[in-house]
Chains A and B, each alone.
Chain A
């Protein structure tokens, strides 16, 4: 018991460390992006490349730590106590869906397209790719980049579906022999049982292996997307991803807190909650997923 609670602690510590590393990377990304935008030279591109490479390294390190700890406490990664309920509701195999990276690309790509098109239609000459040359932002995605992103997208969805199938079957195993039958035959609910323990250990180990696979897919997808994007686009994309992840964590925590406060608030719980939650908040969007 002692060692496994230590594992969970370690898992939580490594998560906190990860989150603080992510917030640390935000100003670094911002600074280099600003530099690159004022001086569009090769040197600044290289600096950006170096930083995005380092950030991929961060992801790999964190994934390695998770892999190391997961085989002893994989359930804690599938439903982390350190996440807000909102984040846990959106989680896929212990993290974000790799396919959500593509939504992020499209969201960023689209955010400026409308303005551009309007400018473009008003004045032909007004249509210029922003801030010093091709690939300055995600909305400058070229035809070739868009096509590559699309091919990767379809492939990753496929991978994701395959993994979802694997985890589905593991989840179903919990309702099968021996766990279900032992539970049925027991006189008292929840008595300790060696057979069940062994089965659940096996189950958690299998889940741990899947977690590693999923983490690999996440890191791999990220690296491949960065391979398609220009240095500026890549840095912008990472910045957006980090901000989204950290923001979702805060928003989730805030919403959870509000809901708890509501519940204490006696009779009018339901009304109060709906009022509080009906504001036009960015978190209300349905397809946001953690990055």
Chain B
């Protein structure tokens, strides 16, 4: 919710992102609103979502909640932690699908991980959790996709996901969320998506929004995604090129509303807010682990710290009474994700916190 500011949007604002505001005029006049504020309020005030509870967190014992049927040997080692934290709405969602692959591809295990951080309401993030991996699966064209193919696969999947959530409001009658999917309230709901597919030799990351994927390689953090913030110079150019504006209201916001420049959903901010993912493909080398997390973590924990903590856990530093448990790596990953979550809470993160740690050691 912190991403959204319903207060003000204007065409009359200066185009500068860091529009300077004199200290004495912090209460600026309200300009013309882009959306119908009342709808927004109704949306927020109506039924509290219950959706979040289902997948909101994952005790080790019930991690099946997160994934399809767990598959034997080729199962990846990972840990997940996802909490509501200091917010009153749970709008984060996590999806994990081990041994996920295209129907034509069963030989090479590849694993799907996704973190979605919703805003406005929880239903877009929830929908991404349910659907995006399936769309990626459908778009996968061959056993071993090359870079260009992965890029196209991810872009197509994200576009389809976006279309689905935009048209969803019209077609689906029931929803278990606070806004009840009433259009047009629904139009102002969206979600980030950071998705990673781990293949035997590659790490594919597709990102849209301000969740982030960070690879720990030789103990050093290597970001595999770049946050889509409206003040990122290329994003700013893109937005302004499309005729939109970035207005500073607490932080840079698209049309003064959304504090990220790309997202799934957010129909009312199209085309300024784009659903096109940025895709990176990285060859696997001496990697420790991959961390996917929502900004509830990244706002308060640096890539370096997150990387060090995760690496230490994987090396057994966080191990307690476990002996030579075969599932030890799994435990270490869980330990890492939980410790990072606690660290975010300890540092007063005011948002939902979701962290996935995937062990990449061979």
CA A133 to CA B320, docked complex, whole Å: 9
CA A181 to CA B338, docked complex, whole Å: 58
Minimum CB distance partner of A133 in chain B: B321
CA A153 to CA B50, docked complex, whole Å: 11
Minimum CB distance partner of B311 in chain A: A121
Among B51-59, B99-107, B124-132, B142-150, the one that faces the other chain is: B51-59
Measured between beta carbons, the chain A residues less than 8 angstroms from B348 are 110
CA A154 to CA B305, docked complex, whole Å: 29
B345 lies within 8 A of A113 (CB) = yes
Interface presence of B85 (CB below 8 A) = yes
Measured between beta carbons, the chain A residues less than 8 angstroms from B52 are 154
- How many whole Å from A139's CB to the nearest CB in chain B? 7
- How many whole Å from A98's CB to the nearest CB in chain B? 12
B81 lies within 8 A of A120 (CB) = no
- How many whole Å from A217's CB to the nearest CB in chain B? 14
B317 lies within 8 A of A155 (CB) = no
Measured between beta carbons, the chain A residues less than 8 angstroms from B53 are 151, 154-155, 158
Measured between beta carbons, the chain A residues less than 8 angstroms from B338 are 141-143, 146
- How many whole Å from A124's CB to the nearest CB in chain B? 4
Interface residues of B in 150-197 (CB under 8 A from A): none
Interface presence of A263 (CB below 8 A) = no
B312 lies within 8 A of A147 (CB) = no
Interface presence of A157 (CB below 8 A) = yes
* Interface magnitude class on chain A: 35 or more
Name the residue in A103, A110, A143, A153 with the highest tally of chain B Cβ atoms < 10 Å from its Cβ: A143
Interface presence of B343 (CB below 8 A) = yes
CA A124 to CA B335, docked complex, whole Å: 14
B342 lies within 8 A of A154 (CB) = no
B81 lies within 8 A of A143 (CB) = yes
Interface presence of A272 (CB below 8 A) = no
- How many whole Å from B273's CB to the nearest CB in chain A? 28
- A120 touches which of B62, B79, B88, B317 (Cβ 8 Å): B317
A146 lies within 8 A of B48 (CB) = no
Question: Interface size (B, Cβ < 8 Å)?
Answer: 42
B83 lies within 8 A of A150 (CB) = yes
CA A124 to CA B81, docked complex, whole Å: 22
- A150 touches which of B61, B82, B337, B342 (Cβ 8 Å): B82
Interface presence of B315 (CB below 8 A) = yes
A110 lies within 8 A of B320 (CB) = no
B320 lies within 8 A of A134 (CB) = yes
Interface presence of A127 (CB below 8 A) = yes
B334 lies within 8 A of A143 (CB) = yes
Q: Interface SS of chain B: helix, strand, loop or mixed?
A: mixed
B56 lies within 8 A of A154 (CB) = yes
CA A111 to CA B79, docked complex, whole Å: 23
Interface presence of B4 (CB below 8 A) = no
Measured between beta carbons, the chain A residues less than 8 angstroms from B62 are 147
Measured between beta carbons, the chain B residues less than 8 angstroms from A120 are 309, 312, 317-318
A109 in contact with B345 given A146-B81, A151-B53, A154-B52 (CB within 8 Å): yes
CA A287 to CA B88, docked complex, whole Å: 13
A113 lies within 8 A of B60 (CB) = no
- How many whole Å from B168's CB to the nearest CB in chain A? 23
B320 lies within 8 A of A109 (CB) = no
CA A111 to CA B334, docked complex, whole Å: 21
Please encode chain B, from 308 to 333, with 1 for each CB lying within 8 Å of some chain A CB and 0 for all others. 11001001111011000000000000
Interface presence of B341 (CB below 8 A) = yes
Interface presence of B346 (CB below 8 A) = yes
Interface presence of B216 (CB below 8 A) = no
Interface presence of A148 (CB below 8 A) = yes
Please encode chain A, from 123 to 147, with 1 for each CB lying within 8 Å of some chain B CB and 0 for all others. 0110101000110000101111011
Measured between beta carbons, the chain A residues less than 8 angstroms from B85 are 106
B57 lies within 8 A of A103 (CB) = no
Interface residues of A in 191-223 (CB under 8 A from B): none
A127 lies within 8 A of B48 (CB) = no
Minimum CB distance partner of A126 in chain B: B317
B57 lies within 8 A of A127 (CB) = no
Interface presence of B90 (CB below 8 A) = yes
CA A137 to CA B240, docked complex, whole Å: 52
Measured between beta carbons, the chain B residues less than 8 angstroms from A158 are 48, 50, 53
CA A175 to CA B324, docked complex, whole Å: 68
Measured between beta carbons, the chain B residues less than 8 angstroms from A110 are 342, 345-348
Interface presence of A161 (CB below 8 A) = yes
Interface presence of B86 (CB below 8 A) = yes
- How many whole Å from B109's CB to the nearest CB in chain A? 25
Can you list 30 A-B contacts with CB-CB less than 8 angstroms, sorted by A residue number?
A110-B345, A111-B346, A113-B342, A113-B346, A114-B343, A117-B305, A117-B343, A121-B308, A127-B312, A141-B338, A143-B59, A144-B61, A146-B83, A146-B338, A146-B341, A147-B57, A149-B83, A150-B82, A150-B83, A150-B84, A154-B53, A154-B56, A155-B53, A157-B48, A157-B84, A158-B48, A158-B50, A161-B48, A162-B48, A287-B86
**A interface residues with partner B (beta carbon < 8 Å):** 99, 103, 106, 109-111, 113-114, 117, 120-121, 124-125, 127, 129, 133-134, 139, 141-144, 146-151, 153-155, 157-158, 161-162, 287
**B interface residues with partner A (beta carbon < 8 Å):** 48, 50, 52-53, 56-62, 79, 81-86, 88, 90, 305, 308-309, 312, 315-318, 320-321, 334-335, 337-339, 341-343, 345-348
Q: With contacts A110-B347, A146-B341, A147-B59 known, what are 7 further pairs, Cβ within 8 A?
A: A114-B343, A142-B338, A143-B59, A146-B81, A147-B58, A154-B84, A161-B48
